[in-house]
Chain A
Amino acid sequence: QKEVEQDPGPLSVPEGAIVSLNCTYSNSAFQYFMWYRQYSRKGPELLMYTYSSGNKEDGRFTAQVDKSSKYISLFIRDSQPSDSATYLCAMRRTGNTPLVFGKGTRLSVIA
């Protein structure tokens, strides 16, 4: 079993829809959880950062972490064509440790 599992999609939704993206993980030592957005041929851009369990909201984006289930989610409300990208979940342990990434989910928002 991989440390981080993420459905690669592709996921296609109409403009204005609510998008739900998620990842599961196996390592209970992960404490920091992040979502990145990556446009084609560009570096990942940090969208959301969450420490331990809980919810965090920023504009149209909501990140949720459920450590008991080892499950994290990213919700995008009122999705826009400009949201079309690959969304990567990433997580890490404490200390100076690197991120472990999911495979990324390709999202297309159709106008």
Chain B
Amino acid sequence: GAVVSQHPSRVICKSGTSVKIECRSLDFQATTMFWYRQFPKKSLMLMATSNEGSKATYEQGVEKDKFLINHASLTLSTLTVTSAHPEDSSFYICSARDQARASGNTIYFGEGSWLTVV
């Protein structure tokens, strides 16, 4: 079945540094990918919609200059957390929609990336 891969699965970084998380659709093309954030025991919160070849659309309250999204190809979107702070520590998950499938609207998720800022 369709697979979405995320890398790295875990990362620890120092406060003030930047971290890049990659999201790849492995066997399908995704013109749109979504980035979510999840706090412990909480549901997924949509951060932004990543569109191939154009600027991402950010949800209200999400700082676009802090969470840089680049969707350079039909199979890759990246999320860069800039000048990370401890409050940015969270579980970041990407998802992609397999538009080519007969179901047409199935959305698959990556395994997620645990970010810890120390």
Chain A residues packing against B (C-beta within 8 Å):
32, 34, 36, 41-46, 49, 51, 88, 90, 92, 96, 98-99, 101-104, 106
Contact = CB atoms under 8 A, between A and B. Distances in A.
B74 to A, nearest CB: 14
B114 A41 contact: yes
Contacts of B108: 46
A96 B43 contact: no
Contacts of A44: 44, 93, 109
A37 B111 CA distance: 12
- Is chain A's binding surface mostly helix, strand, loop or mixed? strand
Interface of B: 6, 31-32, 34, 41-44, 46, 49, 91, 93, 95, 97, 103, 105-112, 114
A101 B44 contact: yes
Nearest to B108: A46
Contacts of A99: 34, 46, 95, 107
A104 B95 contact: no
B46 A32 contact: no
Contacts of B95: 99
5 contacts: A41-B91, A46-B108, A90-B107, A98-B46, A99-B107
Contacts of A104: 43
Contacts of A92: 105, 107
Nearest to A45: B109
A99 B108 CA distance: 11
Given A43-B93, A44-B93, A88 B44 contact: yes
Nearest to B112: A43
A42 B34 CA distance: 17
A43 B109 CA distance: 6
Given A41-B91, A88-B44, A101-B44, A49 B103 contact: yes
Query: Closest 6 CB pairs between A and B?
Result: A43-B112, A43-B109, A43-B111, A44-B109, A103-B43, A32-B105
A9 to B, nearest CB: 11
